[in-house]
Structure 1
Amino acid sequence: MYLLEKAPAKINLSLDVLYKRPDEFHEVEMVMTTIDLADRIELIVLHEDRIEIKSENRFVPNDERNLAYRAAKLLKDTFSIKKGVRIYIEKQIPVAAGLAGGSSDAAATLRGLNKLWSLNLTTKELAELGAQIGSDVSFCVYDSTALAKGRGEQVIELPPPPACWVVLAKPAIGVSTQTVYQNLNLENVPHPRTKNMVQAILNQHYQGICDHVGNVLESVTLRLYPEVKQIKEHMEQSGADAVLMSGSGPTVFALVQHESRAQRMYNSLKGFCEEVYMVRMLGYPQSLD
C-alpha cells in the first residue's frame, strides 16, 4: 500500500512577535498562506516495524532530525502502530529557507499516514499532534490560509487570498532562526497590523493585503544579512505590488498581479540569485495530479 501527498511551501503575509513567554517560546501572531511550490511525499507501508526516509536531496536528513520521521514516529508511538513506513521526499522547496518545507513534509506525512493506517483522526486532531513536532506543523496540516497564534499552534482558518503571482528568491546563505530571535528588540520595531491583514483577506481586497504585509523579524535579518536586504530592494525597484521576507528568512517574496511583470522580475533576479521561483498563490488544499 502506498499514497502520495503534496507538501506546499508557506509564506508569511504578516508575522508579529508580541513577547517572550515564560517557557522561552515567543508569543506570535502570523497570517500564513500556501503557494504552488511543493514537495512530493510518497508513503509506502512496510511490514517491518521501522521508519525509512529516502531523498535524493543531500540536505535532507534520514533520521530523527527529519520532521517527517518524527511525524511517523509520533503516530506509531501514540497509537501503538506496529507497521513501518518508507517515506520518500522529493524536494522542490529550498531547505532552511523560511518556507516551512520540513514542517510541510511532516504535515503531509501526518495526513497521509492517517489514511494509510486508518486512524480516522480529524484535521484538528492531526494539527494538535503536529504541534508536538514543530511550531509551523499545525498550520501546514490545514494546508490552507490561516491566522496562527500562541507559538504558531493555535490555527484559525481563513479563506484563500485573491490569486496572484508570487516571485521568490533565496540567497545562498543560511539564517539561524535562534540568532534572529535573540537579536530581536520588540520595543524599537514597527509591528504589522494583523487585524487589517485578516480583514483584507476576508474582504478579498488584494491591495489591502499588499498594504499590510509586515514581518518584525526583517528588522534583524536585513541588518545581519545584507544579501537579503539587497534582494528585497531589487524586488521593490522592479515594481512588485508588495515585498516581504518569509519567516526568519533568508527567502524574500514579491506579490505581483500581472504575469508579464512577474516574469520580468523573475528573469532579472536570476541574474544574481541562483534559487528563484515564480509560482501562484494557493491558500487552499490541493491533491497531487
Structure 2
Amino acid sequence: MKIKSYGKINLSLEVLSKRDDGFHNIDTIMQFVDVYDEVEIESTNSNTIEIVCDEEGFPKDETNLIYKGWDALKVFYDGNPGVRVKVLKNMPIAAGMGGGSSNCACVMEALNKIWKLSFSKEKLQEISKNIGSDVPYFFENKTLRAKGRGFDFYDMIEIEDIPILIINNGCKVSTPYVYSKVELSKEEKMDKLIDSLNRGEIKKEFFFNSMTKVSSEVCPEILDIIKDMYDLNAKVSLMSGSGSTVFGIFGSYSDCNNAYNLLKDKYRYVFNTKAIRREYEG
C-alpha cells in the first residue's frame, strides 16, 4: 500500500499557559498543504516493524513515531503484526510541518485497513494522543482550530486553493526547548484572526506565532526568510509551529511562482504549493 503523508502549517499559534501534565495549552489553526512524504507499507512474516528511509537523521528505531503508532495498534491485532514501512522524505525533519506525526497517522490508518480493525477516526485519534500532540490532526482532512494540547478541534471556515510558498533552510529546532523558553500570551488573539478569515480577508496584522522569538534566536535565518517573502509581495509570512519552516501566503499564483523562482536556489527546501483539503489514498 502506498500513501501520501501530507504536511501541515500553523496559520497562527498562541501559547497560553503551562498545564499540570507538563504540556502547554495552545490555540492554533492547522492547515494541510500539498507537500507530502511518500510512504509504502507491506506486511511481512517478521513479527516486528522495519522502517526504511535514506534521509539523514531519520530515526528507524522505537523513537520514531511510526514505530510508536505500530506498537500502539498491534495490541489490538491477533495476527502477525510484521510490516515493512518505507518512507521517501520530502518534508524536512524537525521543522514544524508535522512530518513525523503525519507519517505516524497515515501508517496507523493503513494498518487499520490492512489488519481489518475497523476502528473509527475518533478511536485512532484517542490511541494516538499519547504518541504526540500533533498526531490526532492528521486523521482529519481540513482546516481546524485546535486548543488544549492541540487536539481539541473546532470547525471553522475551510481554506483551500490559496497559493503558499514554504521555505526551510535545514535548521532544526527542538520543540521542547522552544516551549521551555516561550513567553506565554497575555491576551487571546485567535478570535480576531478567525473573524477576519470569515470575512474572506488575509491580513498580516491578525496572524502571529508566539514561538517565533525563541526559534529565531536558534535559527536567525527564520527572520531572513520572512523578510524575503514580504519583499516578494507575500500577504502574510510566518513561521509554522516551533519552526524552522516559514510559509508565505500570496495573493496570486503568479506572485507565488515568481517568489519561488527567485528563492528556490537560495534555500535548501522551497515548496511552491497551496492549501488543500487532505485526502488519503490506499
Scaled by the length of structure 1, the TM-score of the pair is 0.90
The amino acid across from 2:111 in the alignment is: L
Scaled by the length of structure 2, the TM-score of the pair is 0.92
Give distance in 2, aligned partners of 1:90 and 1:70: 19
Q: For structure 2, list consecutive stretches of 5 or more residues without a partner in the other structure.
A: none
Correspondence for 1:52: 50
From 245, 259, 269, the equivalent of 1:251 is 245
CA deviations 1:106-143 (Å, max 9, x no partner) are 01011111111111111111111111110100111213
Correspondence for 1:241: 235
From 202, 205, 211, the equivalent of 1:207 is 202
Give distance in 2, aligned partners of 1:258 and 1:190: 35
From 133, 138, 141, the equivalent of 1:140 is 138
Q: Deviation of residue 273 (structure 1)? A: 1.2
Q: Deviation of residue 42 (structure 1)? A: 1.3
Change (3 A) 1:204 1:85: farther
Change (3 A) 1:5 1:192: farther
Q: Deviation of residue 248 (structure 1)? A: 0.7
Correspondence for 2:272: 278
The amino acid across from 2:200 in the alignment is: H
Contact 1:45 1:84 in 2 (8 A): yes
Correspondence for 2:72: 74
Deviates more, 1:45-54 or 1:79-88: 79-88
Aligned-partner SS, 1:215: coil
From 188, 195, 204, the equivalent of 2:191 is 195
Identical positions, percent: 32
Q: For structure 1, list consecutive stretches of 5 or more residues without a partner in the other structure.
A: none
Contact 1:15 1:31 in 2 (8 A): yes
Whether 2:263 is the aligned partner of 1:269: answer yes
Q: Deviation of residue 78 (structure 1)? A: 4.2
Contact 2:76 2:117 in 1 (8 A): no
Correspondence for 1:163: 161
Contact 1:75 1:81 in 2 (8 A): no
The amino acid across from 1:249 in the alignment is: G
The amino acid across from 2:257 in the alignment is: Q
Change (3 A) 1:159 1:51: farther
Correspondence for 1:114: 112
Deviates more, 1:76-85 or 1:91-100: 76-85
Contact 2:92 2:170 in 1 (8 A): no
Q: Deviation of residue 80 (structure 1)? A: 4.8
Give distance in 1, aligned partners of 2:186 and 2:168: 24
Correspondence for 1:29: 27
Q: Deviation of residue 83 (structure 1)? A: 2.6
Q: Deviation of residue 212 (structure 1)? A: 2.5
CA deviations 1:142-192 (Å, max 9, x no partner) are 132211111112223445314211101112322121221222122xx6756
The amino acid across from 1:193 in the alignment is: K
Whether 2:214 is the aligned partner of 1:220: answer yes
Contact 1:4 1:112 in 2 (8 A): no
CA deviations 1:15-61 (Å, max 9, x no partner) are 11110111111111111010000011111122331111112223221
Aligned-partner SS, 2:223: helix
Whether 2:123 is the aligned partner of 1:125: answer yes
Give distance in 2, aligned partners of 1:22 and 1:109: 31
Change (3 A) 1:121 1:288: closer
Contact 1:175 1:249 in 2 (8 A): yes
The amino acid across from 1:197 in the alignment is: L
Q: Deviation of residue 287 (structure 1)? A: 3.5
Give distance in 1, aligned partners of 2:246 and 2:112: 34
CA deviations 1:182-203 (Å, max 9, x no partner) are 22122xx6756222333445x3
